[in-house]
Amino acid sequence: MTEQSPILNAKHVDHSYRDVSLLEDVSLSSQPGEVVALIVPNGAGKSTLIGILTGLFEPTGGTINYNGPDAVRQIGYLPQHPAFCSGFTVCEILSFYASPVGGDEVDTLAHLRRVGLADAADRNVDDLPGGMTRLVGIAQATIGEPPVVVLDEPGSGLDPGMTRNVYTVVESITETGAAVMLSSHDLALVERHADRITLVDESRVNEAGAPTEVCQRLEADSLFEVFEASTAAEAGTVRVQGDTA
């Protein structure tokens, strides 16, 4: 991939809650048209980092810079546990998200078709199983064609076929020139689809770079081995590797 200026750039981010340090000196970036996967063990600051990247939280140190076009919606976001107003159909929910970014000009059915939910447009969101609710969440994250899309565990709760479809959707998003940041524990799919990874543990970036480069550097056969080696290291002994600028 041709090197471009980052569209979203986090530099030396710290975040503390009371006396607990959740993130320390975390730097990462995303370029237009690429997928950056965040690999973070449970309880290691993933939700905090995503909240900072999407503007939900202010870091206690460091900077977050959006360098993309002056879009009405700069960052689309799928939370880990998407929830929608009760009593509305899927199409009505998407129309609600579309109202600030073009309203009737937004083809909500096209967004549902993209995630494979066109046939569910008239279903009540209350009646959807968890996996389909997540797909609605992915559809709403792309409303308005935001230049950056952040997806928190987009494949969680989905069967293998739906999960593969989600990554196909991710690729279709990047084909428009948007940047995608996603968190995932499905390292095989990450290895297949991500342009770069950022592995965070013990509040810090432990590894960063293209999946193949990271594996080669650590003489690992897969990202799973990278993850095991990184998380098994003692806190304070792991150096930041690769390009996180």
81-103: pLDDT as tens digits: 898 999 999 999 999 998 888 76
pLDDT of residue 131: 86
Asked if 166 contacts 158 with a C-beta cutoff of 8 angstroms, the reply is yes
pLDDT at 186 exceeding the cut of 50: yes
pLDDT at 148 exceeding the cut of 90: yes
Class of the CATH-defined domain 70-184: alpha beta
pLDDT of residue 103: 65
**Nearest 10 degrees: Cα torsion 11, 173, 77, 200:** -40
> Which residues lie closer than 8 Å to 122 by C-beta, 6 or more apart?
89, 90, 91
pLDDT of residue 65: 93
pLDDT at 70 exceeding the cut of 80: yes
pLDDT of residue 162: 83
pLDDT of residue 244: 42
Tokens (6 digits) for 101: 């970014």
Q: Which stretches of the chain are assigned E, i.e. beta strand?
A: 8-17, 20-30, 35-39, 61-66, 75-78, 148-152, 179-183, 196-201, 204-209
Per-residue pLDDT averaged across 1-21, rounded?
A: 83
pLDDT 10s digits, 150-174: 999 998 888 888 888 888 889 999 9
- Given pLDDT bands bounded at 50, 70 and 90, which one contains residue 240? very low
pLDDT of residue 243: 45
What proportion of the chain, given as a percentage, has pLDDT over 70? 91
CA distance linking residue 101 with residue 103, whole number of Å: 6
Q: What is the mean pLDDT of the chain?
A: 87
Per-residue pLDDT averaged across 36-41, rounded?
A: 91
pLDDT of residue 99: 87
pLDDT 10s digits, 207-229: 889 999 999 998 999 999 988 88
Beta bridge pairs of residue 41: none
Beta bridge pairs of residue 33: none
Sequence ranges of the domains in the chain: 1-28+45-67, 70-184, 196-245
What type of residue is 33? Answer: G
pLDDT of residue 235: 44
Beta bridge pairs of residue 9: 29, 65
pLDDT of residue 232: 67
